[in-house]
Structure 1
Amino acid sequence: MRNILITIMLITIMVLNFFDVLFDISMGAPSWHIISESLIVIVSGIGAILLIKDINEKISNISALKKALMISDDKLKNISDEMKNARYEYGVVIHNQFNEWSLTPSEKEVGMLLLKGLSFKEISAVRNTKEKTVRQQASILYSKANVEGRHEFSAWFLEDFI
């Protein structure tokens, strides 16, 4: 906006000085005065042209950036859709494994919360149970999964991705 205002001011200066030069010529003003005002017209015109080119270049760059942003947004949306699908499919795999280990619904819930990284205290708060109950369920879960603890339990599901 500032560049547009400056351009308008330069064009105004150029036009007013141009008419002043024409008036001075008709009035017989000294040539040094006509030359100095003609230089003002030329410099103002060059400045206006340079600013107009700069404004057009910025508009072009902004358009290109908007187009690139839209393309990136589309790619991100597609990636997000792919991630949603992958997350769903991975959840199915986890639940199938839980079924294979014959986990109870409570053990499955504890297992999912463990995989999400919650502590026993956080899991007990989410499930409205005692922390001791969560620890017992986790212990049974580890036994059924034939793992030593929460780290090995998480690693069981992640090791093939790393």
Structure 2
Amino acid sequence: MSLVALILFQALCSAFFVFDVIEDLSRGEVPLMHMLPEVGATIGLFVGILFEVRSLMVLLRRQAHMEKSLGVAAGALAELMEDYFRQWALTPSEADVAAFTIKGYSIAEIATLRGSAEGTVKTHLNAIYRKAGVQGRGQLVSLLIEDLLNAPLVPKDGMAGAEART
């Protein structure tokens, strides 16, 4: 946003100089030594605006690419989680607790979000860890991240997902 403001400010300054140069030329009595710095400053402002517009476009394209990549990664992680939850034969409640656990929520937070007791969440977590063959939250998250890092997010056919990992 600040780059846009700078571009607009420079455009206003350029417009001022252009009108000043036009006014000076219309009078016809302004010496060349006075006109050269004004014309040079005006050209410099226009060149600066062009570079800033180009930089802004590059930044906007980069931001769009990063947002797209983040969306692909989030989608790939969600698909990977669903695949694992099916392989481990998690119940819907266990899958819900597992998703919250992977997202980093504490047992108390999960219990509050699900409207259940902490003991129930702990029971679900024990079942999840047993079915996944891991010892705890760290290993559960590591399992998913390791698998995600070992697979391309966007396969050659352009589709993201579990099909590319299998």
- Shorter-chain TM band: 0.5 to 0.7
Runs of 4+ that moved beyond 4 A: none
Aligned ranges 1:39-118 → 2 under 5 Å: 46-118=33-105
- Cα deviation, 1:89-131, whole Å, max 9, x if unaligned, reads 3311211111111111111111111111111122122212222
| Residues 88 and 131, structure 2, Cα contact 8 Å, conserved in 1 | yes
The gaps in structure 2 that reach 5 residues or longer are: 1-11, 151-166
**Normalization by structure 2: what TM-score?**
0.66
Deviations, residues 64-92 of structure 1 (Å, cap 9, x unaligned): 22123223312332332233133213311
State the match for 1:149 in structure 2.
136
Q: Matches of 1:105 and 1:68 in 2, distance apart?
A: 48
Q: TM-score, normalised by structure 1?
A: 0.67
Q: CA deviation at 1:150?
A: 0.7
Partner of 1:136: 123
Q: Distance in 2 between matches of 1:48 and 1:119?
A: 70
Determine whether 1:121 maps to 2:108: yes
Which residue matches 2:156?
A: none
Structure 2 vs 1, CA of residues 47 and 128 (structure 1 numbering), >3 Å: closer, same or farther?
farther
Question: Could you say what secondary structure the match of 1:111 adopts?
Answer: helix
Three-state SS of the structure 2 residue aligned to 1:64 is: helix
Question: SS at the partner of 1:117?
Answer: coil
Cα RMSD (Å): 3.0
Q: Distance in 1 between matches of 2:96 and 2:49?
A: 50
What is the aligned length? 136
State how far apart, in whole Å, the 2-side matches of 1:153 and 1:122 are.
18
**CA separation in 2, counterparts of 1:156 and 1:66?**
44
Query: Any gaps of 5 or more consecutive residues in structure 1?
Result: 19-40
Structure 1 pair 52/122, CA: closer, same or farther in 2 (3 Å)?
Answer: farther
Q: Determine if contact 2:80/2:144 at 8 Å carries over to the other structure.
A: no
- Structure with larger RCO (C-alpha < 8 A, sep 6+): 2
